Amino acid sequence: MTTGTLITVAPTGAESAKAEVPALPVTLDELLLTAKECEALGAAVIHVHIRDDEAKPTLDQGRLRETVTALREGTDLIVQLSSGGAVTDPEADRLAVLDAGPDMASCTMGTLNFGDDVFLNRWEFIVDLHTRMQERGIVPEYEIFDLGHLTALQRLLGKYGLPAGGHVHVDFVMGVPGGMPGTTPALVAAHQALRDLPEGTTFSATGIGRSTIPVMLASLSAGGHLRVGMEDTVTYAKGRPVESNMQLVARAVGFAQLAQRPPLTTAEARALLGVPAAGR
């Protein structure tokens, strides 16, 4: 029985341009402020992409370390770095994200068309990410963009064992052009496919663009958790740009409360995901 809702905020992403979305947090100060605000509202995990001085996506190691330190000092949030980066990032840089020592990192379970681009995730690369995270005690969040990615996860766990912390948590990223759609039937299909994964596997879901609300409601009703943020949605409602990540987290918190599954605290989220207590 799922009693609370894990809320993850994905505030920045690698796809939107600051020039087109001025509210996007791109500097460390902006990210930290957003993180604090979203934590106060009920977020427990932050999924982090960083930008350079020109607001372009970067995997610069110094900046990543500085970001992890600042988020740890300024918040109790679980810090999840993106190992997905931008579609143009080389594998070596994506693996090196783990050197920044986050609590969690994302691990995408397969290659897919990503709009007009290709988001490349070769099997050997996935195995490297998974096994390095195991060695370093970094808890993965497996990013599932399509149903076949769950089959790949089943194969990964069967061959290489459970992740650090022993708990399996996946995130359904729905509505990417090239992946599964952000619809209730697709979420139900993905949810049902979890039966082939270890007992107790948990899931979050996020819907890109206009699929945000249907995916949020479907996930809550299926016992799932929520990811929201400007990485995934920059329009709050038709004709209304998102003003801040807070606005999206506040809406998710409201839905979770209506479902009588209030947001998990950061301590409860750590216990759920198998992430060691803050200040380890």
The token pair at 81 is 């770095």
State in angstroms the smallest separation of the CB of 273 from ligand KMH: 16
Options 13-21, 150-158, 183-191, 215-223: segment touching ligand KMH (CB under 6 A): 13-21
Options 76-84, 186-194, 196-204, 210-218: segment touching ligand KMH (CB under 6 A): 76-84
For residue 224, the partner it binds in Zn ion, ligand KMH, none, with Cβ less than 5 to 8 A by kind, is none
State in angstroms the smallest separation of the CB of 238 from Zn ion: 25
Q: Rounded to an integer, what is the distance from CA 263 to the centroid of its chain?
A: 16
The Cα–Cα gap between 74 and 71 comes to 5
Using CB under 6 A as the binding rule, whether residue 84 contacts ligand KMH is answered as yes
Options 12-20, 180-188, 208-216, 233-241: segment touching ligand KMH (CB under 6 A): 12-20
Using CB under 6 A as the binding rule, whether residue 75 contacts ligand KMH is answered as no
16 closest CA partner among 53, 67, 70, 55:
55
Using CB under 6 A as the binding rule, whether residue 87 contacts ligand KMH is answered as yes
212 contacts 187 by C-beta, under 8 angstroms: no
Closer residue to ligand KMH in complex, CB, 85/224: 85
The Cα–Cα gap between 99 and 96 comes to 5
State in angstroms the smallest separation of the CB of 136 from ligand KMH: 17
CA quadruple 84, 85, 87, 92: dihedral, nearest 10? -80
**Site for Zn ion, rule CB under 5 A:** 82
For residue 87, the partner it binds in ligand KMH, Zn ion, none, with Cβ less than 5 to 8 A by kind, is ligand KMH
The Cα–Cα gap between 57 and 16 comes to 10
Between the alpha carbon of residue 206 and those of residues 43, 55, 91, the distances in Å are 14, 24, 25
265 closest CA partner among 68, 40, 10:
40
249 contacts 43 by C-beta, under 8 angstroms: yes
Using CB under 6 A as the binding rule, whether residue 171 contacts ligand KMH is answered as no
Which residue's entry shows tokens 């990210």? 31
Closer residue to ligand KMH in complex, CB, 87/213: 87
Using CB under 6 A as the binding rule, whether residue 143 contacts ligand KMH is answered as yes
Residue type, 169: H
For residue 114, the partner it binds in ligand KMH, Zn ion, none, with Cβ less than 5 to 8 A by kind, is ligand KMH
Under the rule (CB under 6 A), what is the footprint of ligand KMH? 13-15, 82-84, 86-87, 106, 108, 114, 119, 143
